[in-house]
Structure 1
Amino acid sequence: MVQLESTKCSFLFCLGVCILICSAIYLKAKIPNTPIPSTDLSSQTTPAPQSCDILPPATPGFTWQRKDCKKISYETKPDANCSLLQSDLHFITAPLSKEEDDFPLAFIITIHKELETFVRLLRATYAPQNVYCIHIDAKAPEEYKTSVRNLAGCFPNIFVASVNEKVTYAGFSRLQADINCMKDLVKSPTKWKRVINLCGQDFPIQTNLELVRYMQGSKWKDRNMTPGIRQPPTMKHRTEFQYKEVKGTHVAPKGKGQKKGPPPHNLTMYFGTAYYSLTKPFVEFVLNDKVAKDLLEWSRDTFSPDEHYWVTLNHMKEAPGSYVEGEWEGNVRAIKWKDQEGTVHQGCKGTRMSTCNLVSFPWCLRQNEKCLFKT
């Protein structure tokens, strides 16, 4: 009995010691070693519902202010810490491979709203060896413009276009916005190989490495990607009649169906996507060649000129990297067309988007609306 009592006491003693040790470990993990610095309440982030908590807490010198989960302003202070911002938002700070470092890309991103969405797009496409031209719609709120400029100021390879257009959907201003960025990009010290254009509601479905490998594949190496075909009869009205752009609102026929003259230099017109992957020599050709300049000027009073301009020039033999025999080849965007439902795909699922007509993750046309869904 004495031996049993002794064993019992030893067990209880060991149990007590284990409890004390576990309690000490728990308290050490629960209570931080360093004191929490005091903060000025006026600089704290405005509380937002959990459902729209997309971005991390503000870093020193920055404040994310949210209203109704949609309106966000990005404010900087003189002592803003860009390194902390890049770290907290998980921006890539070094090339992930030599393959990517040897093939820098240029991006043109046209934006006009939804700062939070734009930041997610920028973060997803960002690589330090690339270069990014941000075109901010001239009619965007000043607070929004300031927010984007402040964000761009934290990165040496991100800049805002030197000239910003008041963009109208299907108007010449949308084409001019890309041209403005191209003029800035050719002056960039970054030796980029290809340029890709995006809109603010885009999101990539390929990594930077996948893009580089795809564009350096046997089919696209040194060749522009401008999916499109010879202008079909249903699209001829876009370039046969004159249109006028009501700045910032819409494009309307000019007069009672006023006809245009033929395209310059006897060019054959093509119709395709407004989005592309272009080689740098082709961009320089667009900016300097007389035929390209004349076509640009002729396109001012056409409907949605960005859907014929790039693809038409890319079918010229003289254009660097041209693809004269090309049609709809080139995976520059993931698209579900309404007329292919039931054959190529099984339709759209998710949220309809009627405000942004061009997005790079899956979307489709449905009664003149665009259907965007999560992957």
Structure 2
Amino acid sequence: MTYGKYHGCYLDEKKLRILSSFYGNYATTNSPEFCLDICIQAGFPYAGVQYASECFCGDISPRESAKTTEGSCDMKCPGNSTKICGGYFTMNIYETGLSKFVPVTPKLSSNEKESVRIVFLLTLNGRALRQVHRLINVLYRSHHYFYIHVDKRQDYMHRKLSALEKEFKNVRLAPNRYATIWGGASLLKMLLSSMKDFMSLGWQWDYVINLSESDFPIKSLEDLERFLSANKGLNFVKSHGREVQRFIKKQGLDKTFIECETHMWRVGERKLPQGIIIDGGSDWIALSPEFVSYVVGKQDELLSGLDVIFQHTLLPAESFFHTVLRNSIFCTTYVDNNLHVTNWKRKLGCKCQYKHVVDWCGCSPNDFRTEDWPRIQNTLNRQLFFARKFEPVINQEVITRVEQLIGFTDHYHIQNLEGYWQNIYDIEDKPAGTDDTLLSHAGSILRQNAKILLQEDCTIELGEVHEINLYKYADVYKVSSDYDQKEMTFRNLGGILGPLSEPILVYQFSQIEKLTENLTVILLDPAGIIADVNIIYKEENNLTNFIKFNVKTPLLPGVWKVALLEQTLVPIAITKFLITPLEFFSGKEMSHQETSLIHSGSINSYKNYSHIKDIDLLPSTKDSLLLQELAFSNVKRIGHDLREWIDSLNVVFYDILGSCLSSDSFKGKQICGKYKFRDCVTTDWSSLSPDPKGTIGKLNLRTGRLERM
């Protein structure tokens, strides 16, 4: 095959196209050269121009019987009037210089006991430490390796995992850490940097597989080993499965992006390089050492050129490895399978939820829940070994089911099988990670607990808050913040709101209910003033939906109310939520000036709802004036007076269910006055309670596995 070699003029048929793999109409730019570029980008061997503006691509050689006289192709090209671009159902056909591409079909598995060593490249973000431990427990074998990159901003995760590097010789944490964002160029930089580093460690391995804390195996590790041992040297990536030109537009590959200050900025259009096949799809991959060595080694002309392109590409990790494979000597090792099944629900996952970090509208897969179990079962006879995404804060039962599917039988031994803990504050976190609302709330809980103990003649001295952990069993919040439309849940895991929060109401109708009239939602602040009004229309189809209140921060601290009213403004339901006053600002105690700014609310920015009257929800004029006067006086409270105000509010919304002592301090101190402390290890709720599924197991030297029990 030779680039641009002319085959001749061919007759075409509307119902049986001579080149049928791609069609595009380019009214101002079409020419043989232009069409050749389009077809090369898509990897097709043949390009054809027709009816002046039409470009066709195909991978089957045109039939000689369809060849006709050159005079039948008589239309000039709009992109180059010196060239001919076919005619009425006649096509000028050229070679692109490419051969027909057929991805490799891997072998099913090998019965031979040929060893295979895997580098699990874990790219971690967030604070789901126990889920990371659970993933490592399942994957760990002494002959495999774990290279762990923790996002530069996630000091808690990095500190906790550093212990593994000291305990296990086959675990290494990346010394060069990147702050990555969704779709950012930093993601590809991080992957290439990590690969370059572990290539220098002297590890002997056969495959690298990248995983996140949201991935989990859906087949046993032994199944994966047998499959990979039969297919050494191949490279597993997942292609987009659509027309390349559509993929280029959808991914924004024809746009230039620059990553700056944790944002991908779109700065203009661009033309992709000529002669390069463009491919991409998923950024979850399984690569051979030969290919990785080529990618991170001394750059040739292809790699140096692609390096420039992908530094300014949106979602570069979803296209870079695919494109290098298709354009290099490794094209014969390309397998269109990344070994993953992904839980795509496009209606939920494509809500442009990353607009705050990228000038583009992207999609993200959903977490698996128990109702998605059939999708996992359908992978049993397919060459798929991992699934994503899983989050224990969303659904932990499905993770337990997957463990049972891949051969774990220890669940009936595991205490707290259905419980999950996640750290949301640690004293060693950098000051930038300090959450003033959380600290203010935690301090109030400690004081409330101290008062309860004092009633039992037990006096405790309060110190600093060292850790705050979320214990999730079955919590539901009607009003919270950081709503995730995709998962239809709040990412403010504790549901704790402060003056700078942006509260969101989530409401749900039963399937048997159908609205016969519009409903009104009224938001009432602690001073008894209507802060916002919203309408739920009877035509609404979603069973679950949300309202983001149009109220400026800071919010007035105190008890807020949300009321659902009929068209006649008769209340149907009322819920309350707390805006906790802040004891701290930027980690330090609030000053007079800070309280006057943050605790005064934004009443002056409310819309005028004075026309809404005579509702049972609203206080009388006299009571309203008293509430406003109280709110004004609260603004002046600082120090001990401020803490008393915070405590008086928190005690209404939160109960103390128990206190315990850690094992280190338990001996000889369990009795305090009339109160007998429990050892935290014996409780169901303490973060010190045994959690084998979320704790790194003990290494069995004989089997090379980690044992949870």
TM-score relative to the length of structure 1: 0.59
CA distance in structure 2 between the partners assigned to 1:132 and 1:222 by the alignment: 20
Alignment match of 1:297 (pick from 308, 329, 337): 308
1:337 aligns with 344
Partner of 1:259: 269
What CA distance in whole angstroms lies between the structure 2 residues aligned with 1:368 and 1:292? 39
2:200 paired with 1:174: no
1:186 equivalent in structure 2: 199
Tell me the amino acid that sits aligned with residue 387 of structure 2. Answer: F
Determine which structure has the larger strand proportion and give its number: 2
Are the aligned partners of 2:123 and 2:213 in contact in 1 as well (CA < 8 Å)? Answer: yes
Q: Which residue of structure 1 lines up, in the alignment, with residue 287 of structure 2?
A: 278
Instruction: Return the match for 1:222 from 221, 233, 244.
Output: 233
Q: 1:261: Cα distance to partner?
A: 4.0
| Helix, strand or coil at the partner of 1:196 | strand
Supply the distance in 2 between the matched residues of 1:104 and 1:306 (Cα, whole angstroms).
24
Aligned to 1:268: 277
1:138 Cα deviation after fit:
0.6
Residues 325-367 of structure 1: CA deviation (Å, up to 9, x unaligned): x5xx3252112433699xxxxx964499xxxxxx942559xx9
User: Hey, what's the Cα distance between the residues in 2 that align with 1:311 and 1:370?
Assistant: 30
SS in 2 for 1:243: strand
Q: Map residues 132-147 of structure 1 onto 2, 5 A cutoff.
A: 132-141=146-155, 143-147=156-160
1:99 offset after TM fit, Å? 3.5
Residue 134 of structure 2 aligns to which amino acid in structure 1?
Answer: R
1:369 aligns with 2:494: no
Secondary structure at the counterpart of residue 222 of structure 1:
coil
SS at match of 2:168: coil
Question: C-alpha displacement at 1:223, in angstroms?
Answer: 1.2
Match of 2:296 among 287, 300, 303: 287
2:329 is the alignment partner of 1:318: yes
Query: 1:253-306 CA deviation, whole Å, 9 max, x = no partner?
Result: 12xxx122423x731111211011100000011112422243123211111001
Work out whether residues 363 and 370 of structure 1, in 8 Å CA contact, stay in contact via their aligned partners in 2: no
Does the aligned pair in 1 maintain the 2:277–2:327 contact within 8 Å? no
What SS does structure 1 have at the residue aligned with 2:340?
Answer: coil
Mapping 1:88-99, distance limit 5 Å: 99=113
Residue 341 of structure 2 aligns with an amino acid whose one-letter code is A
The change in CA–CA distance for 1:213 and 1:166 in structure 2 (over 3 A counts) is same
Q: Aligned equivalents of 1:266 and 1:368: distance in 2?
A: 41
Q: Could you list the runs of 5+ residues in structure 2 that have no partner in the other structure?
A: 1-110, 349-366, 373-384, 391-483, 490-709
CA distance in 1, matches of 2:143, 2:285: 20
Instruction: Kindly state the Cα deviation for residue 185 of structure 1 after the two structures are TM-superposed.
Output: 1.6
SS for the counterpart of 1:109 is strand
- For the Cα contact (< 8 Å) 2:257–2:264, is it kept in 1? yes
User: What is the alpha-carbon distance in structure 1 between the residues aligned to residue 322 and residue 244 of structure 2?
Assistant: 10
Comparing 115-124 with 288-297, greater Cα deviation is found at 288-297
CA contact (8 A) 1:132 1:159 kept: yes
Residue 199 of structure 1, CA deviation: 0.8
Q: CA deviation at 1:317?
A: 4.4
CA contact (8 A) 2:206 2:288 kept: yes
Q: How many residues align?
A: 250
Structure 1 regions of 5+ residues with no counterpart?
1-96, 342-346, 353-358
> Which AA in structure 2 matches 1:157?
N
Runs of 4+ in 1 over 6 A off after TM superposition: none
2:269 counterpart letter in structure 1: K
Partners of 2:234 and 2:368 in 1: how far apart?
A: 32
In the other structure, the counterpart of 1:209 is 222
**What letter corresponds to residue 332 of structure 1 in structure 2?**
L
Does the alignment pair 1:117 with 2:131?
yes
Give, as a single letter, the amino acid of the residue that structure 1 aligns with 2:149: H
Change (3 A) 1:146 1:363: closer
State the structure with more CA Rg: 2
Matched, 1:127 2:141: yes
Name the CA shift for 1:363/1:245 in 2 (closer, same or farther; >3 Å): same
CA distance in 1, matches of 2:190, 2:113: 30
* Aligned residues of 1:224 and 1:278 also touching (Cα < 8 A): yes
Would you say the 8 A contact 2:215–2:388 is kept in 1?
Answer: no
Q: Letter of the aligned partner of 1:133 in structure 2?
A: Y
CA distance in 2, matches of 1:188, 1:351: 43
Deviates more, 1:233-242 or 1:193-202: 233-242
Q: The residue matched to 1:203 in structure 2 has which SS?
A: strand
Contact 2:233 2:290 in 1 (8 A): no
Equivalent residue for 1:151, pick from 144, 159, 164: 164
Aligned CA-pair RMSD? 3.3
Q: Deviations over 1:139-160 (max 9, x none)?
A: 113x332211122221101001
> Are residues 370 and 198 of structure 1, via their aligned partners in 2, closer, same or farther at CA, if it must alter by over 3 Å?
farther
Rate the CA distance shift 1:108–1:351 in 2: closer, same or farther, 3 A. farther
Change (3 A) 1:207 1:154: same
CA deviation string 1:186-207 (max 9, x = no partner):
1222210111000122211122
Q: Distance in 1 between matches of 2:227 and 2:135?
A: 20
Query: Paired residue for 2:13?
Result: none
Task: Decide whether the 8 Å contact of 1:224 with 1:321 is kept in 2.
Answer: no
1:371 deviates by 9.4
The code of the aligned residue for 1:319 comes to F
Change (3 A) 1:351 1:252: farther
Paired residues of 1:134 and 1:159 also in contact (CA < 8 A): yes
Q: Distance in 2 between matches of 1:188 and 1:371?
A: 43
| 2:317 equivalent among 306, 309, 333 | 306
Question: 5 Å matches for 1:3-82?
Answer: none
> Which residue identity does 1:333 align to in structure 2?
H
Cα deviation digits, residues 198-250 of structure 1 (max 9, x gap): 01222111222211222233xx44210111046342433522111122444x4
- Cα distance in 1, alignment partners of residues 368 and 162 from structure 2: 36
Q: Is the 8 A contact 1:286 1:293 kept in 2?
A: no
Once residues 221 and 304 of structure 2 are traced to their aligned partners in structure 1, the CA distance between those partners, rounded to angstroms, is 32
Instruction: Write the distance in 2 (CA, Å) between the matches of 1:186 and 1:225.
Output: 19
Paired letter, 2:339:
V
Whether the 8 Å CA contact 1:170–1:303 is kept in 2: the answer is yes
Identify if the C-alpha distance between structure 1 residues 340 and 243 changes in structure 2 by more than 3 Å, giving closer, same or farther: closer
Q: Which amino acid aligns with 1:285?
A: Y
In 1: Cα distance, 2:488 partner to 2:291 partner: 33
Paired AA for residue 180 in structure 2: V
Structure with higher helix content: 1
Matched, 1:160 2:173: yes
- Indicate conservation of the 8 Å contact 1:281/1:320, yes or no: no
Is 1:242 the counterpart of 2:242 in the alignment? no
Residue identity over aligned pairs, in percent, reads 20
* Equivalent residues of 1:334, 1:363 under 8 A apart: no
